[in-house]
Amino acid sequence: MNYKQFRHCGLDVALTMLSGKWKPIILYHLFHQEQIRFTDLWRIIPKVAKKVLLDHLKQMEAHGLIIRTEKNTFPPEVYYQISEKGRAMGPALTALELWANEYAADEVKDLQDDKKKKYLIRKESLS
């Protein structure tokens, strides 16, 4: 295998753009849904504070990973979708995902259980 291309600067940049507690799950939804409204995203993701979700979305928009579109209807509708730049990251993310499932299955399972628990808590608190 050849790691001549693997230089830490680019890796730093990519990881910086991915750093943030909720970015993986945000990306997950945006990769699967064309576009999604702010409030829907907020309701789907368990336990994020509105403000924090917004912070993350702003950062990602600033990095060019996602696109924000605002319709001036009332009440306002704001849609988020993945950009070309963001979508281009897909294969790399899939590679990480596969690595985790193959080499860190235990940790993945732990995290899943953990999230399931949190999700149940959140579900209770809704309707």
Partner DNA sequence: TGAGCAGGTTACTAAAAGGTGAACTTCGGG
Partner DNA sequence: CCCGAAGTTCACCTTTTAGTAACCTGCTCA
What residues make contact with a second copy under the rule CB under 8 A? 1, 3, 5-15, 17-19, 23-25, 27-28, 31-32, 63-64, 85, 88-104, 107-108, 111-112, 115
For residue 92, the partner it binds in DNA, a second copy, none, with Cβ less than 5 to 8 A by kind, is: a second copy
- When asked if residue 116 is in the footprint of DNA (CB under 7 A), the reply is no
Identified binder of DNA from the candidate list 47, 115, 116, 117, rule CB under 7 A: 47
Q: Is 23 exposed, middle or buried (0-12, 13-18, 19+ CB in 10 A)?
A: middle
* Distance from C-alpha of 41 to C-alpha of 50, rounded to nearest angstrom: 10
The helix (H) or strand (E) run that includes residue 66 is strand 66-71
- Which one, 3 or 74, has the nearer CB to a second copy? 3
Cα 75 → chain centroid: 26
Q: Is 54 in the site for DNA (CB under 7 A)?
A: yes
